[in-house]
Amino acid sequence: MAAPRPTVLPEVDGYRVEGVLGRGGSGVVYRVTDRRLGRSVALKLLDDDGDPEGRERFRIEAQAAARIIHPNVVQVFGVGEHEGRPYIVMELVDGLPVYDVLRARGPLGPEAVAEIGAQVAEGLAAAAAVGVLHRDVKPHNLLITDAGVVKLADFGLAKLVNGPSGLTQDGTTMGTPHYMSPEQGQGQPLDHRSDQYALGATLYHLLTGAPPFHDDNAVALLLKHAQASLPPVLQRNPACPEALAQAVERMLAKAPDDRFEDFEAVIGWLGGESGISRPERIGIQGGSNGGLLMGATLVQHPELAKAVVSFVGIYDMLRVE
């Protein structure tokens, strides 16, 4: 049984712990100041649950994420141990989870979706370049900062393509079924095209207001990803430009070989080949169109203000109901 979570702030060597950012199934995320560098960062401290495999998975998460240095990925600065409990130190991001935007405002405009998709693809390309798969791409794990930068967070299910097996091995189904590729749902070997499928499912959700498939039973949902015909984007959102709909549907092809060859191809398509103009900046402001508006500063709309959070590990903090 897991030890009770602390009611007082821990004293971690080298860091001044200032407050709790969130609590999840595996630990607590704190806002801290690095005493040596004088900068604010986020520190995720794993619960002492007596689970060596969980601690090892946490260490692998840190190692995988630390290999990726890119503006569209939440950066990992270090890892350590406090009273026998591992922790990871990460970039502190003030941003709005895309899932919260979607839940509050409805489907997003095609220009915003193309821009979000291209930025996330940039981050995933950087991950693929160092042999890392994210394995849990979804709207919950995407942040939009007030500068219009989209950041991919929570590499908690990350896998090193050529890394050690055992903890996140092929044959183990981990991830979020609404966005999971057929091969991941079936426990098959994965490559970057599995993350591409999850990104496609995410963009489909942003465009239409719902994931590609739904079922209350997780196994049945995974079978739909593998076997059911994809409802066309234009059927659910007739206003979506046809080229963008085709790109998203190609990312959601059942067979990996039928998807885009790599993330560079995805970026190229979303960045111009689709005919959709990517805005210079994305942000949020009040309005009646129910979507992201271009060129706007991020404003704390009343219904979204509570969702503006300093974020690390959004999957732990904001689970699907």
Contact between 208 and 107 (Cβ < 8 Å): yes
pLDDT at 317 over 50: no
Percent above pLDDT 90 for the chain: 51
Q: What is the pTM of this model?
A: 0.79
Provide DSSP, 243-311. HHHHHHHHHT-SSGGGS-SSHHHHHHIIIIITSPPPPS-EE----SSSS-EET------TTTGGG-EEE
Which range of 42-51, 208-217, 279-288, 293-302 scores highest in mean pLDDT? It is 208-217
What distance in Å separates the CA atoms of residue 244 and residue 187, rounded to the nearest whole number?
A: 30
Measured in degrees and rounded to the nearest 5, phi and psi for residue 126 equal -65, -40
Provide DSSP, 166-222. SSS-TT---S-GGG--HHHHTT----HHHHHHHHHHHHHHHHHSS-S---SSHHHHH
Q: Give the up-direction half-sphere exposure of residue 320: CA atoms within 13 A in the CB hemisphere.
A: 17
Q: What average pLDDT does the structure give for the chain? A: 80
* Residue tagged active-site, from 136, 154, 195, 262: 136
Give the chain's domains with CATH numbers. 15-93 (3.30.200.20), 95-309 (1.10.510.10)
Residue 206 CA from chain centroid, whole number = 14
136 is catalytic: yes
Tens of pLDDT, residue by residue over 198-249, are 999 999 999 999 999 999 999 999 999 999 999 999 999 999 999 999 999 9
Per-residue pLDDT band at 271 (split at 50, 70, 90)? confident
Between CA 59 and CA 64, with CA 62 as vertex, the angle to 5 degrees is 110
Tokens linked to 69: 């240095």
What share of residues in the chain are helix, strand, coil (percent, to 5)? 35, 20, 45
pLDDT value for 139? 95
Tens of pLDDT, residue by residue over 143-179, are 899 889 999 987 756 666 655 443 344 334 567 899 9
Per-residue pLDDT band at 25 (split at 50, 70, 90)? low
Contact between 157 and 136 (Cβ < 8 Å): yes
Residue 140 is classified by DSSP as: G
For the chain, first and last CA: distance in Å? 25
Where do we find the tokens 């465009």? Answer: 207
What distance in Å separates the CA atoms of residue 156 and residue 315, rounded to the nearest whole number?
A: 9
